[in-house]
Structure 1
Amino acid sequence: MNKSLSPFDVLGLGFMTFAFFLGAGNIIFPPLAGFLAGENITSAMSGFLLTAVGLPLVTLIAAALAGGGLPTMGRYLPTGVVTVMATAIFIIIGPAFAAPRTGLVAYEMGLKPFLQDPSQFTLTLFTIGFFGLVLLLSLNQGQLLDAIGKVLTPILLLLLIGLAIAVFISPQGTQPEVNEAYMAQPFVKGFIEGYNTMDTFAALMFGMLILDVLRQKGVTDKRAQSRYLMIAALIAAAGLGFVYVSLFILGGTSLGVVESANNGGEIISAYVLSLFGAPGLWILAAIVSLACITTAVGLVSACADYFHRLTGKGSYRVWVVINALACMLVANVGLNTLITVSIPVLVAFYPVAVALVLATYLRPLMRAPVFAFRLTLAVALVFGLIDGMQAAGLNMSAFHLLPMFDIGMAWVLPTCVAVAIGLGMPAPRQQVTA
C-alpha cells in the first residue's frame, strides 16, 4: 500500500538532500571566485550557480522522471559504458579529488590558521592523522558516526547562516579589483568554476539513494516518488543557492581582510577571525574539520563498497584501506595543486553528464533513443576531451575554429547538433523473422 509523506517528512527529505550536497569542501570555491571577480561578481556568480545549483537540480529531476539515477538514465547505453561512467564518477568523487579535498579543507581551515610556519611536513602529518581516523571510522562505521553527521550538518548550516547575516549587516572589507581570469568572460569562468563542486556527478548517484529512502518510508507509487524527489531537489537547491550567494558576497567584500588568497578557505578563516575573533575561528575550525571527517568517511565507505561489489575481489575492509591510503597520498599535493589538476578532468567529463541529463529530458521526443543517447554522449565526450586537454595546457590550436573553443566550451554546439540528429532519426524497422 502506497503511503503519503507529511509536510514535515517532505521537509526532512529536502534537508537530507541538501546535506548530501553540502560538503565542507564546496564552501571554499564561492569566496575565492567572489574575491577574484571583483565588480564582475554578479556575472561570475550567475555562471557558478548555473552549474553548482542548477545542474544538480535538473539532474535530480531527470533522475525522478527516469525513475532512478545513473543506471536508469543510462539504460539506452551499453552496460559496459554505464559501468565505466559509474566507476569514473566514484574515482572522481572518491580517491582522485573529492575525498582528498576534504582532508585538505580540514587542514586549511582547521589547523593552518593556527600555525606559525606551515610546511609540507605539517601537511603530511595532518593527512596521515586525518585519513588514519577516516580509515578507522570507515572500518567500523555505525550509528554514532551517522548521528554525528546528522548533527554536524545543521550546525554547519547555522554557522554559515550566521556568517551570511554578519556579511550582509557588517561587511569587513571592500570589493577587490577584477582578476584577469574574470575580466573577459566572467559568466563562463564562473560556470566552469562550478564544476569544482562535482555535484552534478553526485546527483546521478543521489537520485537512487533518495528513491531508496522513499521506498523504505512506504512510498511505492512511482509518480509519488518522482514528485517527492522533485520537491526535495528544489529545497536542496534553495539551500545551496543561499549558501553560495552569501559566500560569493563574503569573498567580494574581503579586500582588507585579506590582500590576496590562494583558496577560499583562507578567505573564510580570515573573515571569521575579523568578525568574531579567535573564539569564532576555533568554532569554525572544529565544525569544518568534523564535517570534513564525516564527508570523507561517507565517500571512502561508498567507494569501497562500490569497488568491492564491482570486482568481487577483496573484502570491503581491504577496499577501505586502499581508498584511504590513496586519499592520503593524493592529499599531500596540497589544496591548490589538487584543484588545478582536477579542473581539466572536470572540464572533460562534465559535458557527458550534462548530455545524459539533456537526453533524459528529451527521451519522450526520440523515436530511436538508443541511437540518440549513444550519439549525444559520444559527441559530448569527444569534444569535452578537447576542452579538457586545452584546460590542461596542451596545444589544441588545431580546433580554434570551433565555436566557443576559446572559452573552454567547444562541446556545446556539437552536442546540440548531435541531439538534433538524434531527435530527427526515424524509429528502427522491426526485423521480420520467418
Structure 2
Amino acid sequence: MNRKDLIAIGFMTFALFLGAGNLIFPPLMAQQAGEYWLLAIAGFLLTAVGLPALTIIVLGRLSSADKLTASLPKWMDRSFWILVLTTLGPAFVLPRAVTVAYEMGIKPFVNGNYLFIFSISFCALTLLLALKPGRLVDYIGKVMTPALISMLALLIIAAIINPLGSTSPATEIYKQAPTVNGLVQGYMTLDAIAAVAFGWVIIQAIKSKGVTSTKAIAKYSRWIAGIYAILMSSCYLAMGYLGATSSNIAPNALNGGEILTRYAAGEFGQAGQVLLAAITLMACLTTTIGLTNANAQYYKNTYRIPFKISATLILGLTAIVSNFGLETIIEVSFPAILILCPIAIALILATVSLPFPNKPSTTHTVIVLIATLFGTIDALSILDKLPLTVIEPFTKWLPFYSAHMSWLVPVFITIVISKLLSFRSEKMIPA
C-alpha cells in the first residue's frame, strides 16, 4: 500500500468516528472544567481516543473483525455481533445520527417539521454512497474528510484569533478530580464499541488496496490507528478550547451543541450557522455510511445476504426509526450499548493479555459473562433503575461503581488469574 492510500484510510477512519456527538461532548466538559480544562481533556483522550485506537490495533492484528469473538461459543459469538451491529445500526446510532443532522443542520433554517422528508433523503444519500464499499476510501478519505477538516479548521482558527471569552470557574467535581472525570466522560462516548463495528470497514479498506498478509494488515492497522489518534485528539483539543473560551457567549450552557452554535454565530454571524450546519451534516453522513457498510459487510460474510439487500433494509429501518424522535430512540436503545461496551472492551483486553484461541475458550467465555453482569449493573446505575437498598453497598464496596466502570476490576482480576494459570500450565508441560 502506498503512503497516499494509507493516509486516506486514516482520514476515513477519523471521519467514521467523528459524529455530531463527538463534536458536542468536549465543549461542555471543558466549560465545566474551567481552568482545569486541559487536565480534563487529557483524561478524556485516554479513553475516548485510546480505547478505540487500541481496538483498531487489536482487530488489525487479528486481520479480521469477526475473529475477535472466535474464542466464544457460536451462539454467544453471533448474539454479540447482531446486538452490536443492530444497536449501532438501525436501532440506535444510525437514527440518532439522522435526527442530530436534522436538528443541527436543517431545522434552524426552516419553518415546520420536515424530519420525515429529510430522513428519507439522508438515508437515500447514505445508501447511494454505501453501495460501493470499494470506493469508501475515495469518497470519505480523499474527499469528505479533507472538506470536514477544512471547515473545522476555519472555526478553530477564528476562535484562536478572536476568542469569545475566558475560562470560567470550574464546577466542584472538576475542581476535585478533573482528569478522572475526563476519563469517565471519554468512556461515556462509547466509541470503543463503535471501533469494534468500524473494524469491519477499516480492515476491508486495507484489503481493498491489495494487502493480504496478516503481518501487513497488522502493520498498516497500527499506522491507521496512529493517524486516527492524532486527528481525533486534535479535534477534541480544539472543541475543548471552544468550550473553555465560551464563558461570554454561552455561560452555563445546557449542552455542547449550544456552545458550538453560539460560538459559530459569534465568529461569523449567519454564515457561522451555515458553517456549523455543514460540519454537522458531513460528520453525520460519514458516520452513517460507515455503520451501514459495517452492518452489510457482517451479514454478507456471515449469512451470505447480498450487500445491497442488507444495506437497503438497514437504511429503510433507519429512516422509519428516525421519526420516533431522539428521546425515544435513546430511551429504548441506550441500555444495550451501555452493556455491550464493557463486553467489547473486555474482549479487547483479553485478546491483548491472553493467548488467543481459534476455538471456543472457557476463559474468554467467563470474561464476557463477568463483563455482562457488571456492565448490566453499570447500565442500571446510569439509568437510575437500581433499588436504593443496593446502591449504598455498591458505592462502598464495588470499585469504580460511581464512575460507571464497576466491570473493570472483576474483568482485570479474571484476566490476571487466567494469565497466571496459563503460565503454570506451560511450566507443567514437559520439555
TM category (shorter chain) comes to 0.7 to 0.9
Amino acid at match of 1:380: A
* Other-structure match for 2:365: 374
Distance apart, 1:251 and its partner CA: 0.7
State which of 17, 20, 25 in structure 2 corresponds to 1:21: 17
Deviations 1:99-142 (A, max 9, x none): 22223332343244457xx8xxx5xx232122111343355555
Counterparts of 2:313 and 2:406 in 1: how far apart (Å)? 41
1:43 pairs with 2:39: yes
Do the aligned partners of 1:348 and 1:385 also contact (CA within 8 Å) in 2?
Answer: yes
Greater shift after overlay, 227-236 or 344-353? 344-353
The answer for the alignment partner of 2:171 in structure 1 is 179
What residue is the counterpart of 2:417 in the other structure?
421
Equivalent position of 2:230 in the other structure: 238
CA shift digits 1:161-210 (9 cap, x unpaired): 22223333321112233335545443343223224543222222333333
Matched, 1:129 2:125: no
Tell me the distance in 2 between the aligned counterparts of 1:157 and 1:393.
38
* Residue in structure 2 matching 1:288, options 271, 280, 301: 280
| Matches for 1:30-179 after TM superposition, within 5 Å | 30-69=26-65, 71-114=66-109, 122=112, 125-138=113-126, 140-141=128-129, 149=140, 151-179=143-171
- Paired positions, count: 412
| CA-CA distance at 1:304 after TM superposition | 5.9
Question: Which of 339, 358, 364 is residue 348 of structure 1 equivalent to?
Answer: 339
Contact 1:138/1:301, CA 8 A, preserved across alignment:
no
Q: After alignment, is 45-54 or 203-212 more displaced?
A: 203-212
Q: Please say if residues 16 and 290 of structure 2, whose CA atoms lie closer than 8 Å, have aligned partners that are also in contact.
A: no
User: Do 1:403 and 1:413's aligned partners in 2 also have CA atoms closer than 8 Å?
Assistant: yes
| Shift, 1:333, TM fit | 3.5
Unaligned runs of 5+ in 1: 430-434
Q: 1:227 to 1:301 in 2, by over 3 A?
A: closer
Residue in structure 2 matched with residue 402 of structure 1 by the alignment: 398
- Alignment-derived partner of residue 432 in structure 1: none
The residue type paired with residue 94 of structure 1 is G
Query: What is the match of residue 333 of structure 1?
Result: 326
Which residue pairs with 1:393 in the alignment?
A: 384
Q: CA deviation at 1:292?
A: 2.4
Matched, 1:251 2:243: yes
CA distance change for structure 1 residues 383 and 236 in 2, over 3 Å: closer, same or farther? same
Q: Is the 8 A contact 1:365 1:423 kept in 2?
A: no
Query: Match for 2:35: what amino acid?
Result: E
Please identify, of 150-159 and 289-298, the stretch whose mean Cα deviation from structure 2 is larger: 289-298
Shift in Å, 1:241: 0.4
Structure 1 residue 57 displacement after superposition: 0.6
User: Contact between 1:348 and 1:381, CA under 8 Å: does it hold in 2?
Assistant: yes
Deviations 1:251-298, CA, capped at 9 Å, x for gaps: 111011112323222211211111122223213313422442453354
| Residues 299-323 of structure 1: per-residue CA shift (max 9 Å, x gap) | 3465466568877899544443223
**Judging changes above 3 Å, is the alpha-carbon distance between structure 1 residues 14 and 28 closer, same or farther for their aligned structure 2 residues?**
same
Q: Percent identity?
A: 35
The change in CA–CA distance for 1:43 and 1:377 in structure 2 (over 3 A counts) is farther
* Letter in structure 2 aligned against 1:253: T
Distance 1:44-1:34 versus aligned 2 partners, 3 A rule: same
Determine which of 247, 262, 268 is the counterpart of 2:254: 262
Name the residue aligned to 1:384: 375
Letter of the structure 1 residue corresponding to residue 212 of structure 2: T
Query: What residue in structure 1 maps to residue 429 of structure 2?
Result: none
Q: List alignment gaps of at least 5 residues for structure 2.
A: 427-431
- Alpha-carbon spacing, 1:199–1:268, altered in 2? closer, same or farther (3 Å): same
| Deviation digits for residues 359-407 of structure 1 (CA, Å, limit 9, x no counterpart) | 11112499x9923212222212211111111111123424231122233
Counterpart for residue 274 of structure 1: 266
The match for 2:219 is 227
Shift in alpha-carbon separation, 1:290–1:165, aligned structure 2, 3 A:
closer
Secondary structure in structure 2 of the residue aligned to 1:415: helix
Aligned partners of 1:196 and 1:346 also within 8 Å: no
Q: Displacement, 1:78?
A: 1.0
TM-score under structure 1 length normalisation: 0.84
Higher alpha-carbon deviation: 43-52 or 300-309: 300-309
Aligned residue for 2:72, secondary structure, equals coil
The alpha carbon displacement at 1:96 in A equals 3.4
1:215-235 superposed Cα distances (whole Å, 9 cap, x missing partner): 332222221121111111101
